[in-house]
Each structure stands twice: as C-alpha cells, then as structure tokens.
Chain A
C-alpha cells in the first residue's frame, strides 16, 4: 500500500437529533476527521439494513447510525426499532465472518455537538486501527 489508509465511513443520522447535533458541532467549530460522509434520514427507524449492507459492499470501512436517546424519538419508538434491527444485522455480519464492530449505533441528541465530534473522532481512530474493510475492492469498486 503506497498511500496511508484513510477510512471511509458512512453515517446515517436522524434528522431530529444526531443530524442537528452534527450541525451544532459545526456551529461550535469542533474539529473532527473528514472521513465521515453524512446521509440524513428522518428517523433512525427509517434505516433499512440494506443501506448498511450497500455501504459495506461498496467498500465503506465503517457505518455509523445516529438516533435520538431512548424515549426521545420524534416518532415515538423508531429508535427502538433501529436498535433491534442493528443488533440483528450485527449478529448476521458476525455469522458471515465480518467484524460487526465496524457498525456503530449511538444515541446523540441535538444538543450534544461535542459528543458527536468526539464520537466521530473515536470511530475514525477505531476503524483506522482495524485497517481497510475486507470487502473493499472485492465487489468491483
């Protein structure tokens, strides 16, 4: 490998909490590594596991899902649905021999800009330590 490894992380953020938390991190000019690509969803409960699989198959080294704290979902219980689905998905990934710790689900509210920036920094470091995804480049990307 000639170039240093730069993790590519896709982040699915709930519009009402983590997406707004990411905005707050920006307003406060909190710096975090530029390896994260954010995609907005209306709720973490709108996350189809297929989105995570697609990202992994396209060679993402990590996937982040951000939702509202338990009890705070704008749509009552979407985050509980997300929690169940992501847990199941991670089980399946593990079964196929894929490291489930490349997929992170965290609750970060609209007021937790600092937590968002910290979490992104941590995740980029953790994925960097793991190295490139084994799926990178395997599926024609």
Chain B
C-alpha cells in the first residue's frame, strides 16, 4: 500500500476513482480449473457461458490456473481492455488467494475492494466429486451470489491512522527497564510506571545468579541509574495504571498513585496525587513480573505455620548477609533443607505448571549456603530436577559434587517443629521408602505466580490473561511478545515464569516490536468498517451498547451515532442492532447480503 495514494480519511461511500463507471455494470468473471481440482467435478465452460448472461456481467472466462502468472496476466489484461469495474474470481477459498487477486486487480487499476472470490473449490468441487451436474449448478449459484456482492461493493482506500511515538512501560523490573532503555536509546520518549518504591523488581533481592554465580548487584545498580538519568525516560514510582482507552498508535492512559503509596510513613508516589494524570502513548509494554505463592497457601509444607520455614526469595535476602541467620533466633543454620516444587506441579493445592526457575536457583542457593557456612549441610528434596538450558545440568552436578549438596528424591509429606529444629518427612514413591531430615531452616521453592492485580490490569488494558493471571501472547510460537490486543506487548515473567536471560531476550524483542511500530509513518487498517447513514439515524444509542469495541458513541449535538473507524473491527453487531437500518459496514451492506440470498436461490438470471 503506497503512502502516495490519495487517501480520503473518512471514505465517503461511493466516491472513489472507479465510481464514475457506475455501480458494477461491467463485471468480469474468471473461472479457474485448478487443473482438474475444479474442472474435474464442475463444468467450468458451461458455468462461464451461464454466468455471462447475469445482470452486470461484461465477460466470463475460464482458465487452467488463475493464480499462475499467465492467469493473473489474463485478469489484468481483461480489466484494462474491457474497462471492468469489478471482478469475481471463482476459484479456491478466499483464504488462499484473495490477496493475490486483489493485488493483480490493483496493478491493472481496479480498486482491490471490488474483487470478490467465489469459493468453488473447497466449498464445491472438492466436496461434490460424485455429482457433476449438481456441483456445476451449485458453482453457478455461488458465482451469481458473488456477482451480486460485487455489484454493491464500493471502491475503498485503506485507512491511515497516525502513531503517537511514545511508549508506556508498566513494571520497573529487569524486563521493564530493558525495554525502556532500548526504546529511549533509539530516540523515543518512555514513561515507566512502577508501583513499588524502587526500580529493579525481584532482582533487588538476588545477589548472584546461576549458572556461573555472577554477581548481580553492581550491574543492576548501573542499569537503574541509567534509567533514572535517561533524558527521555520518565519514571513514575509508587504509581499504577488506573485506566486505558484507545487503540494501537493512540492510547490514553491514566496513571494514579499506587494503593499503598503516600500512606503515612509509606513511600511517596511520583504520580499526580489528585486523581491521576493522563498520558498519550502509541504502545504499551506489560512487564509486571511475578511473585511467589504466599506461604499461607503452603501450609502442608509448614508455610506460615512453622517458624524457620521461609520462601526462596526470603532466603536470597538471608544469603545476602555475610553468613545467613535464621529468623527465629538469629542462629546460623547448620543444616538447611530445601523443598523444590512447593506448590508447583500440584493442581490440587497450588498451580499445575512447573515454575521453571526453582531447580536452578535451589542449586545456586545450596551452593552459596555451603560457601558461606562451610561446615553446614544442604539437603534438597526433589521430585525430579529439570535443567534445560546452557550449562544448567553441569551447574546442578557442580552443586552435588563440589558443593556436596545432598539430593533426596521424595515428595514432602509433612513439616513440623520439634524442639528448635524443623523436621521434614518425605516419601520416595519410586523406592517406596520414607526419608526424614531434621533441619535448622527449611527453604520452600514456592511456585511462581503472576503479580497481584495482574488479571485486573489485563481487564483495564483489554489485554487478556490466562486463567491464572499470566498475560497471554497472540500466538504461543509465532507471536510470543505481542498480546492479543494490537499495540500492547509483553516482556518478562508477567507472561510466564522466566529466568533473567529469557526475560531480557523477550524485553529486547518487545522493544524491537515497539520500534518497528514507531518507525511506520502511519498505520494502515482495513477500510471495511462501520459507518452511519446520518439521515436515517434517530440517535437511539442501541448500536452504542451493541458494539463490543467501544467504537461507537452518540454525538450529543447532532443526536446521531458516530464511529471511531480506528476502533471498529467490522463485526456487524451494530448493523443488526439498529432499528432504523442506519448502520452499515462498508461492503458488507445488508442489501448486498439480501441480493446474494436471492442469487443463490435463483432469483437473478
């Protein structure tokens, strides 16, 4: 689609280059044999002869392979020579070659929205291979109905909508900061909304990272400073997104102080305290990360019940000291029991999925503990160890061999206090025996779950989350960083449990997507959207509530409905809802469908 084409923002119906030729008086029909795929069960020659007599048809031809180069040349040549103002290609499903034939028509100067496909292969020749006569009759009826549709098609131009080249990032963890820096370094403004008091997310608690025990604190600090000092990044701490409206290229987002900020003795919000501020942005990245399932939901492992049973993030904090000390009495623990999969892979009590990062960080924590407390013992309860990733398996081996970490296969059945120790009972279901460990401290590798309020945020943004609250990608394999809403992208653990390397990769991919969007002069949208016939509209508002996309509103002054073309998806719900037939979707007008009904039942001919 060239930006050089003259574009009419509002597309008055019937005012295009070809409208002068009259409405569908010179239609060409091109019937494809598809080798024997169609011609084998449909008499294409007879079909061509019959449809030649239809109202508005100027010519009808059949040809071996319409999508081939000579087939397309035939179409282009006929359009030019016969001055066609609409065509029907009777061939395979529109999902196969509609775009091909529209391009061919456009190359010959015919508006591509006056090209229709009669599906006589998938929906006729292939399913009626036994009855050539009836298949031929059906093909003729289908072609006749599409001829009627073309007769009512207006020439349309794609809609162009402008892009606001400013990004909103929600969440100031490693994911959000990475996206913000990439996009700001490329020259665009970024607003980074973090509900906590500081940037950094969970990594603030994590001093060293697997698998090489790389120190994290210094690089994280550098990153935070770069974000805070970047001239094009505006950080809003203690802030949350209250609402969002608009669409790709043009969102309006209201940011307000986070619940919990500005409380007496609490941290200060950098958002406008008075009801929130509005920001115009063209794209949004969701990077709200994760949290651990609360200890109170891990009662079977002593969580929230038994002193000196902590979750793994808490243990990262304890490890940050020179020697870790247990919470109850400040004693250095001589034996630490780690329980993996606490709440994970347990659809009944916790979550059904694997939290992915626990096997590796448990090995890391056990190793670090053994370094800090050389005469201490580390025991790990596992169902099995999952170590997909470069050098990950070697790292767990290192914990076992070099760190003398003892791995016990067993599902933990009970955790209870005895004197000043915590007893962990496990069952090795394979070997059929029980194991018991008396520890000074128990660390639960608690399940990774979406951060609080993720599902609610998803609703505000109209970006779907899954049943657990993780943000959903548009396609699990092919579009992994886009949400299901155009212009909203995903990064990091907000989408699923991820480690740092995966989080950063996705954040960079999301930044690339945003930059791709910002590099376009304008966004091009299908013009087959709804319009209002103002002279028929009574301003009743029924269509406004029927629209699932908030694309319609009432103009209070004129007392008629209006359509925001950029939001309209062309679903047609408003058309049916309107009691005055004042709504139409371009090129899907009710008269067209009614005429098609007449055609398939043999009203025309």
Interface positions of A (Cβ within 8 A of B): 8, 10, 20, 22-27, 29-35, 37-43, 45-51, 54-55, 58-60, 74-78, 81, 85, 117, 141
Contacts and interface: CB of A to CB of B under 8 A. Distances in A.
Contact of A42 (B119, B138, B572): B572
A59 B601 contact: yes
A116 B95 CA distance: 18
B126 interface: yes
The 3 closest A-B pairs by CB, nearest first: A46-B572, A26-B122, A75-B571
A21 to B, nearest CB: 10
A38 B94 CA distance: 13
Contacts of B135: 34
From A27, A40, A45, A74, name the one whose CB has the most chain B CB atoms within 10 angstroms: A40
B571 A42 contact: yes
A95 to B, nearest CB: 21
B571 A46 contact: yes
A37 B601 contact: yes
Contact of A23 (B122, B598, B602): B122
18 contacts: A10-B601, A25-B127, A26-B93, A26-B126, A31-B128, A34-B138, A38-B119, A39-B596, A42-B585, A45-B572, A45-B573, A46-B571, A50-B590, A58-B597, A59-B601, A77-B548, A81-B546, A141-B603
B572 A41 contact: yes
Contacts of A51: 590, 593-594, 597
Given A45-B571, A59-B601, A39 B590 contact: no
B402 to A, nearest CB: 51
B576 interface: yes
Contacts of A46: 571-573, 575-576, 585, 588
B533 to A, nearest CB: 15
Contacts of A35: 134
A51 B590 CA distance: 8
Given A45-B571, A54-B594, 11 more contacts: A8-B601, A10-B597, A34-B131, A42-B570, A45-B572, A45-B576, A46-B573, A46-B576, A46-B585, A47-B576, A141-B603
B129 A31 contact: yes
Nearest to A22: B123
Contacts of A31: 127-130
A38 B123 contact: yes
A75 B123 contact: no
A48 B590 contact: yes
B604 to A, nearest CB: 11
A50 B594 contact: yes
A37 B588 contact: no
A35 to B, nearest CB: 8
B93 A23 contact: yes
A41 B571 CA distance: 9
A39 B593 contact: yes
Interface string B534-562: 00000000000010110000000000000
B127 A32 contact: yes
Contact of A75 (B128, B137, B569): B569
B145 interface: yes
Contact of B601 (A22, A26, A30, A58): A58
B142 interface: yes
B141 interface: yes
Contact of A37 (B126, B571, B600): B600
Interface string B130-163: 1100110110011001000000000000000000
A138 to B, nearest CB: 14
Contacts of A32: 127-128
Contacts of A43: 571-573
Nearest to A20: B95
A29 B585 contact: no
Contact of A38 (B137, B142, B594): B142
B300 to A, nearest CB: 34
Contacts of B596: 39
Nearest to B575: A46
Contacts of A48: 575-576, 590, 593
B220 to A, nearest CB: 41
Contact of B597 (A25, A49, A55, A81): A55
A59 B602 CA distance: 10
Nearest to A45: B573
Nearest to B569: A75
Given A45-B576, A48-B575, A30 B597 contact: no
Contacts of A74: 571
A34 B142 contact: no
From A20, A41, A81, A141, name the one whose CB has the most chain B CB atoms within 10 angstroms: A81
A50 B590 CA distance: 9
Interface string B306-349: 00000000000000000000000000000000000000000000
Nearest to A52: B597
Contacts of B593: 39, 41, 48, 51
Nearest to B145: A39
A30 B130 CA distance: 11
B472 interface: no
B195 interface: no
Interface string B578-596: 0000000100101001101
A10 B137 CA distance: 14
B121 interface: yes
Given A8-B601, A34-B138, A42 B126 contact: no
A23 B119 contact: yes
B200 to A, nearest CB: 38
A35 B141 CA distance: 11
Nearest to A110: B95
Contacts of A59: 601
Interface string B202-224: 00000000000000000000000
Interface in B385-399: none
B260 to A, nearest CB: 33
Contacts of A141: 601-603
A25 B571 CA distance: 25
A54 B129 CA distance: 30
Contacts of A27: 122, 126
Nearest to A77: B548
B601 A29 contact: no
Contacts of B124: 34
A41 B588 CA distance: 8
A25 B122 CA distance: 7
A29 to B, nearest CB: 5
A137 B276 CA distance: 67
A101 B603 CA distance: 24
A84 B130 CA distance: 38
A31 B130 CA distance: 8
B465 to A, nearest CB: 15
